[in-house]
Structure 1
Amino acid sequence: MKKDVIQLETSLTIEDALDALRQHTVSNYFKLKTESLVGTVSKNKILLYRGILFHSNSFLPVFEGKFEEANGKVVLNGKWKLHWFVKISSVIFLFITCILIANSKFSNSNILFLILVCFAIWFIYKIGIKMGNKDKDWILYQLKSILKAS
């Protein structure tokens, strides 16, 4: 099983589990009063991330999942993702950098600088992902305690 795939079994019904999650989830970051789960909870899709007042990290992991019934048990199946804006902006930045590198008007030192910038962005990306691991643990703990899951 991949480490980014989550499966939580609960003794609650799907409707009760959805209600419990809704009660513990803030729908908008700007409504935060304390650290809490932020996102949307519906029968078709659950999107959650950790909301912390006055703190932001573009690389926050987002939990995307859905409740399903399997063998008479309710299971929350999900996986970790990055926000779509982070993915798109990273691809655009690297695409533009590749175009600039391919442009023959640049001197070797400019090309070297652009390559170093790419590595710096990759390094920041990796550090951001690593910093998000605490958020994954926090979200997982919250989900387990809300759903009384195993």
Structure 2
Amino acid sequence: MEINQFVEFASAVVRSLPRNLDPVTAQRWIREQGTLADVLRKALAPAFELYLAPGQQNGGTMTGFDIDKHLEETKLIDRAFILDDELVKGWLANHATYPEEFKGKAIFLWKSKRTIGSNRRVAYLCWHDNRVIVRWAWLESRWSGRSPALLMSSSVL
């Protein structure tokens, strides 16, 4: 790690610490490094992760209906994001904050579903013309590894 990267990391750690941190708690964290590691992990770890259902991995595809069923059966749907989540609204309001790793992918928000006529659709985010936009995909469609679900990170649960 270069010195500039370390300084940036240390600054991020300090900014992430609670403002009401008292010296006794700080000393306890130093003595119990596991506690400090947990606090840092929660403060610095991303609040989200991208998830591919088993059938989407290794070049496979799945229908939206099958992905939806898998997320329901595994209870991963409970960790799915919706359009109204603050994180998602932040990306839509400030395109510069949209993660670079998401560009070129369709990022699905499995708790944002709607029915139009006889078609069920799910919302997804995509990068288009240097901005984040919301689109809707039919559950009848097939999705590959470039169409992950956006889930709340298991490390923040």
TM-score where L is the length of structure 1 = 0.28
- TM-score, L = length of structure 2: 0.27
